[in-house]
Amino acid sequence: MLKRLVKIIGRLFVILTDEHISIDPEEVRKILIIGSGTTSHLGAAIRDAITRFKPDKITVLTSGQRELFLQSEFPDVERIILYGRIGRFAFARGILKHRKKNYDLIITMSLDIFVNMTALCFTGSLLIVCNEWGRLYLIRFKTLRDFVGLVKRIPVRPSRRARSISRFLSLIFIGTCGLIYYLFAYMYLFTAVLFILLKRQYHVFKNRFSSKQ
């Protein structure tokens, strides 16, 4: 139920666009790549990031299975290795743990809602998804223009502080919507259970009354 709720909220408030073309490479000095894909997918994403943005530093957050591959193919790339059970929550925890490193750009390799919402909500970084065919898409919160259906624009990149404020306000709104959703769900559940109990007690009382007669 929680996963379904997160997906619904994600589709309502998050948009996938090709606005990455408006990102100035000069402003991208530190990149974090979430290496959750295959080795070939990961390698292609790293090469594309180097060619497209020419950053000062690239860091890859990935599992221990890809450590030897990174050491061999990309020895200059910083590695943050996750051990133990690797899944969406491990990557999300890794993003939270290293969010204070202030990456200018985070590149994810899947549309996993938990990983991407963690990066989008709790970091001040731009978020791009790189699919298996090398296509890049910017993931961002919807603006008022998106909701009212005005003409699409290529936005001027806001400051980190402005993006952080936008994310904070969006989190408050999303949290409020989630709270209201759960309140209605629990009210419905409480009402349904109460109705079942009252119905059962009614039948018990009815049977007792009939037996006495």
Would the CA dihedral through 167, 161, 36, 27 be positive or negative? Answer: positive
**Claim to verify: residue 76 and residue 164 sit in the same structural domain:** no
**Claim to verify: residue 115 and residue 78 sit in the same structural domain:** yes
Angstrom distance (rounded) from CA 195 to CA 158 = 53
**Claim to verify: residue 108 and residue 183 sit in the same structural domain:** no
What pLDDT does residue 151 have?
Answer: 44
Residue 6 near residue 116, CB atoms below 8 Å: no
Domain residues for 12? 2-157
**Claim to verify: residue 152 and residue 189 sit in the same structural domain:** no
**Claim to verify: residue 152 and residue 170 sit in the same structural domain:** no
Q: 3-state class of 53 per DSSP?
A: helix
As for how many domains the chain has, the answer is 2
pLDDT of the chain along its 213 residues, tens only?
Answer: 555 665 666 666 777 787 666 788 888 999 999 988 789 999 999 999 999 999 999 999 998 888 899 999 999 999 998 887 788 888 988 998 898 898 999 999 888 878 888 888 888 788 998 888 878 888 887 766 666 654 444 444 556 666 666 666 666 766 676 677 667 777 877 787 777 878 777 777 777 767 666
Residue 3 near residue 112, CB atoms below 8 Å: no
Length of the chain: 213
What pLDDT does residue 23 have?
Answer: 83
- Amino acid identity at 166: S
* b/e sequence 68-79, b meaning 16+ C-beta within 10 Å: eebeeebeebeb
**Do β-strands 57-63 and 78-82 pair in parallel, antiparallel, or remain unpaired?**
parallel
**Claim to verify: residue 60 and residue 164 sit in the same structural domain:** no
**Claim to verify: residue 38 and residue 69 sit in the same structural domain:** yes
**Claim to verify: residue 66 and residue 171 sit in the same structural domain:** no
What pLDDT does residue 20 have?
Answer: 66
**Claim to verify: residue 172 and residue 137 sit in the same structural domain:** no
Angstrom distance (rounded) from CA 190 to CA 199 = 14
Angstrom distance (rounded) from CA 159 to CA 79 = 28
Angstrom distance (rounded) from CA 141 to CA 151 = 17
**Claim to verify: residue 19 and residue 92 sit in the same structural domain:** yes
Helices (H) and strands (E) in the chain, counts: 7, 7
The candidate with the shortest Cα–Cα distance to 153, out of 144, 161, 162, is 144
Angstrom distance (rounded) from CA 54 to CA 27 = 10
**Claim to verify: residue 72 and residue 86 sit in the same structural domain:** yes
CATH value at residue 146: 3.40.50
What pLDDT does residue 172 have?
Answer: 72
**Claim to verify: residue 84 and residue 173 sit in the same structural domain:** no
Q: 3-state class of 105 per DSSP?
A: strand
